[in-house]
Amino acid sequence: MPADGAADRQTNSPSSPLPATPIPTANGNANGIGSLPMNSNFRLRLNPRQDHQPESYEDLQSEFTPLLFSSLERYLPPNLLNVTRDTKHRYMREVLRRYSTEGERNRVQKHREYRMRIISNYQPLYRDLYKLNATNFFTPSFIKAFMVGDHIRDESIKSIMSEPAPGIYTFNMLQPHFCEMLVAEVENFEKWILETKFRVMRPNTMNKFGAVLDDFGMDAMLEKLMEDFIRHISKIFFADVGGFALDSHHGFVVEYGFNRDVELGFHVDDSEVTLNVCLGKQFSGGELYFRGVRCDKHMNTEALPEEIFDYSHVPGHAIIHRGRHRHGARATTAGQRINLLLWCRRYIIPSTL
């Protein structure tokens, strides 16, 4: 599935433990488990323990994303909720390995090695971008909406949101200086690609230009963005497709204009929830057009009048919607447009677990 500047993402991305599901309009063993309870059969609860506070797995090396373990921890059997973190990690890792194929694990490992080759050779222009700093990244109104008590946070977040069409929300998010720095960092990365002739993977199957931010070291920053901010928005507006349980992401930028991509066809995204923020620069055109949500069987049906919505990008302003909300991008007719995309996903637990 794709996004503004999107299509099927690379299926070997370590941010996604399951292969991407194609959309028509777009294109183990038990070794090392250690001391676990004697009745361990490597199953998870059907319903999560919502009041359980999971641990952080950020410092552990694994073929699966740290946030995925934090999310899955709520599904552990009751007798495992209070054991050591290492025991919980090994148990969950074994569950995930049993429900992923050797081919998938090999692809993940190859992509991990690909990322390490980039990170060990590429010299960042602005290292401050690689760790989330809300004060320096976000507008004061965006920060203020989240920095309130739990009992009023939902209403506070709603107060900064506009809903110009059903299921589509817009808000002011990024400071101009952050946008400029991120654009410069991407341009520096593109320069490094040309100088070293390093073959990089583009964000998806539809865009020939753009960069996967996760691949050159921004994955931890973007995961923190999803965990601390986007999940709260999703809990309010997109509870039916992931809500607060979003636990993996694919972060990238797309580039439109002269000698870049020009437009993007009608599609849906490989995500539960998509965040799309314009970074600049000066441009004309490039509007997003939305045509409602459909199931796979009716993906190409006509839109109802109330589902038709066009959105003009403004640097620093964000638009957020369900990944399955059908949309496309019109031609950028002048200048250059660069957007930040964050596809947020929920790891779907097989019913047999």
3-class secondary structure per residue, the chain: CCCCCCCCECCCCCCCCCCCCCCCCCCCCCCCCCCCCCCCCCCCCCCCCCCCCCCCCCCCCCCCCHHHHHHHHHHCCHHHCCCCHHHHHHHHHHHHHHCCCHHHHHHHHHHHHHHHHHHHHCCCCCHHHHCCCHHHHECHHHHHHHCCCHHHHHHHHHCCCEEEECCEEEEECECHHHHHHHHHHHHHHHHHHHHHCCCCCCCECCCCCCEEHHHHCCHHHHHHHHHHHHHHHHHHHCHHHCHHHCCEEEEEEEEEECCCECCEEEECCCCCEEEEEEEECCEEECCEEEEEECCHHHCCCCCCHHHEEEECCCCCEEEEEECCEEEEECCEEEEEEEEEEEEEECCCCCCCC
Closest C-alpha among 8, 108, 3, 127 to residue 61: 108
| Confidence at residue 315, expressed as pLDDT on a 0 to 100 scale | 97
Contacts of 235 (CB under 8 A, 6+ apart): 154, 243, 244
Buried b (16+ CB within 10 A) or exposed e, 324-335: bbbbbbbebeee
Closest C-alpha among 277, 256, 271 to residue 210: 256
Q: Which residue ranges in the chain fall short of pLDDT 50?
A: 1-39, 350-353
| Confidence at residue 346, expressed as pLDDT on a 0 to 100 scale | 86
Amino acid making up residue 190 = E
| Confidence at residue 204, expressed as pLDDT on a 0 to 100 scale | 83
Distance CA 170, CA 178 (A): 19
| Confidence at residue 40, expressed as pLDDT on a 0 to 100 scale | 54
Closest C-alpha among 178, 181, 186 to residue 136: 178
Distance CA 319, CA 141 (A): 16
| Confidence at residue 254, expressed as pLDDT on a 0 to 100 scale | 94
| Confidence at residue 23, expressed as pLDDT on a 0 to 100 scale | 33
| Confidence at residue 336, expressed as pLDDT on a 0 to 100 scale | 94
| Confidence at residue 348, expressed as pLDDT on a 0 to 100 scale | 60
Q: What is the pTM of this model?
A: 0.81
- Across the strands, what pairs with 155? none
CB 248 within 8 A of CB 281: no
| Confidence at residue 349, expressed as pLDDT on a 0 to 100 scale | 55
Distance CA 29, CA 94 (A): 7
